[in-house]
C-alpha cells in the first residue's frame, strides 16, 4: 500500500535524521537531490522534474497537461503566441476594441452542456499547470471565472492560453543553486491491516 510523498529541504545531517525516524516506523524509498556524487541529479516530485546542474536547480513543470490541452483543442502545429492573454480575451478590456470583444462574448449563445463539460475539463489542466507557470496564472483564472454561465465565445480564452503554451513547450524554469542543501524525497509505504 502506498502512503504519500514527502519533500524536504535541509542539510545532509537533518535529512539523514528525518529519514532514520521515518524508517524506524515505515518501509520507505528515498532520494536526495544534491551536488555530491552520492546524490541524485534529477528527481520527480508530483510529475515535476527537478534537476541539479552546475548552474543551479532546474525545475520543469509537468508538460503533459500542456500537450493534452493543445491536442484536445486541435492546435498541434498551430501558430504560437507570445502571451496567454490578448485583445481577444474579453475579460481584459482596455480599449474600445477590447470592449467590443466583451460584448461579443456576452452576446454569444450559451454553450451546450456537452461543450461546457469539455471547457471545464480543458480549463482545469492549465489551472494545474499555472501552479508552476506564473506567466499563465492570470489568464487561467480569467478562463475559469466564466464557468458558471459559459457562452460559445468563451472558448477564445483557453485557446489563447493553449497557443501560448505552444511557444514554450519543453522550456524549463530555472532557479538558484541551494548551496550545502539537499532536497530529499521520501515515499512512505504503510502496511495493510
Confidence bin at 91 (pLDDT 50/70/90): very low
Confidence bin at 97 (pLDDT 50/70/90): very low
Quick one: pLDDT at residue 64?
87
Q: Record the pTM.
A: 0.65
Per-domain boundaries in the chain:
4-61+172-189, 64-166
State the average pLDDT for the chain: 77
Quick one: pLDDT at residue 181?
39
HSE, CB side, 13 Å, CA atoms: give it for residue 73: 29
pLDDT, tens only, 145-165 = 888 889 999 999 999 999 988
Is residue 30 helix, strand or coil? strand
Quick one: pLDDT at residue 28?
87
Structural contact between residues 174 and 59, judged by C-beta atoms closer than 8 angstroms: yes
pLDDT, tens only, 16-63 = 898 899 899 888 888 888 888 988 999 888 888 888 888 777 778 888
Whether the predicted pLDDT of 173 surpasses 50: no
Amino acid at each position: 500500500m502506498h502512503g504519500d510523498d514527502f519533500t524536504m529541504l535541509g542539510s545532509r545531517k537533518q535529512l539523514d535524521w528525518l529519514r532514520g525516524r521515518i524508517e524506524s516506523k515505515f518501509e520507505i524509498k528515498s532520494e536526495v537531490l544534491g551536488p555530491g556524487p552520492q546524490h541524485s541529479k534529477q528527481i520527480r516530485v508530483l510529475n515535476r522534474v527537478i534537476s541539479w546542474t552546475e548552474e543551479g536547480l532546474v525545475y520543469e513543470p509537468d508538460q503533459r497537461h500542456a500537450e493534452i490541452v493543445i491536442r484536445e483543442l486541435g492546435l498541434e502545429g498551430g501558430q504560437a503566441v507570445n502571451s496567454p492573454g490578448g485583445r481577444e480575451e474579453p475579460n481584459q478590456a482596455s480599449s474600445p476594441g477590447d470592449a467590443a470583444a466583451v460584448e461579443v462574448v456576452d452576446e454569444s449563445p450559451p454553450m451546450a452542456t456537452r461543450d461546457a463539460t469539455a471547457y471545464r475539463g480543458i480549463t482545469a489542466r492549465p489551472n494545474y499547470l499555472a501552479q508552476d507557470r506564473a506567466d499563465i496564472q492570470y489568464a487561467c483564472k480569467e478562463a475559469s471565472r466564466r464557468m458558471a454561465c459559459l457562452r460559445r465565445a468563451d472558448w477564445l480564452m483557453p485557446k489563447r492560453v493553449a497557443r501560448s503554451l505552444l511557444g514554450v513547450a519543453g522550456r524549463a524554469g530555472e532557479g538558484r543553486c541551494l548551496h550545502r542543501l539537499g532536497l530529499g524525497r521520501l515515499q512512505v509505504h504503510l502496511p495493510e491491516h
